[in-house]
């Protein structure tokens, strides 16, 4: 249950960020916005990590030491940068926040496509049907939000 609660809270934070970018930060350049976002994220992550390290004995706060994990982390950093750049660019170039964020419902479709390629796991008929409905719902939201 805890992961679902975290995800629901994250959705509200992402929705708030999207509305803030669309309504108040639209004049910024995408790269400037990313630099500021990542700087604040880095600062907050360091502060929270230091706090947790000082108040808990959690061993999982140690940084990885193996090369393979660092290669995956580098790949993850590039992917997250590209995703944030394109997401913010879509908002800053005059995109409708409702339409753009509704596209996030397609994230499971993208995830299963990558997962199918990565681990060779074929989705079952229920997943495929759900993804088709997700795509249709995005089309309906987009159609209904066009001014």
For the cut 90, the answer to whether the pLDDT of residue 135 exceeds it is no
Give the DSSP H or E segment for 119: helix 107-119
pLDDT attached to residue 116: 83
pLDDT-based confidence at 147, cuts 50/70/90?
Answer: low
Q: Can you tell me whether residue 43 is helix, strand or coil? A: helix
- What does the alpha-carbon distance between residue 132 and residue 115 come to, in Å, rounded to a whole number? 17
Burial 118-135 (b: 16+ CB within 10 A, else e): eeeeebeeeeeeebeebe
- Per-residue pLDDT tens over the stretch 14-61: 999 999 999 999 999 999 999 999 999 999 999 999 999 888 877 778
- Per-residue pLDDT tens over the stretch 66-113: 999 999 999 999 999 999 999 999 999 998 888 888 777 778 778 878
- Which range in 7-11, 82-86, 119-123, 125-129 is most confidently predicted, on average pLDDT? 82-86
Whole-Å CA distances, 126 to 85, 90, 117, 123, 129:
32, 31, 19, 8, 5
Q: What value does the mean pLDDT take over residues 114-135? A: 84
pLDDT attached to residue 118: 86
- Pick the more confident residue, 9 or 111: 9
Count of beta carbons in the 10 Å neighbourhood of residue 19:
14
For the cut 80, the answer to whether the pLDDT of residue 64 exceeds it is yes
* Domain extents in the chain: 2-145
pLDDT attached to residue 13: 94
């Amino acid at each position: 249950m805890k992961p679902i609660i975290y995800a629901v809270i994250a959705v509200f934070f992402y929705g708030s960020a999207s509305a803030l970018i669309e309504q108040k930060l639209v004049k910024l350049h995408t790269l400037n916005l990313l630099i500021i976002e990542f700087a604040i994220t880095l600062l907050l992550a360091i502060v929270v990590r230091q706090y947790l390290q000082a108040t808990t004995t959690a061993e999982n706060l140690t940084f990885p030491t193996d090369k393979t994990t660092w290669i995956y982390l580098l790949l993850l950093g590039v992917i997250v940068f590209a995703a944030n750049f394109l997401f913010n660019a879509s908002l800053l170039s005059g995109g409708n926040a409702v339409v753009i964020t509704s596209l996030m419902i397609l994230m499971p479709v993208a995830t299963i496509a990558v997962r199918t390629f990565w681990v060779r796991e074929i989705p079952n008929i229920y997943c495929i049907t759900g993804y088709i409905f997700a795509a249709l719902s995005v089309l309906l939201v987009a159609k209904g939000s066009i001014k």
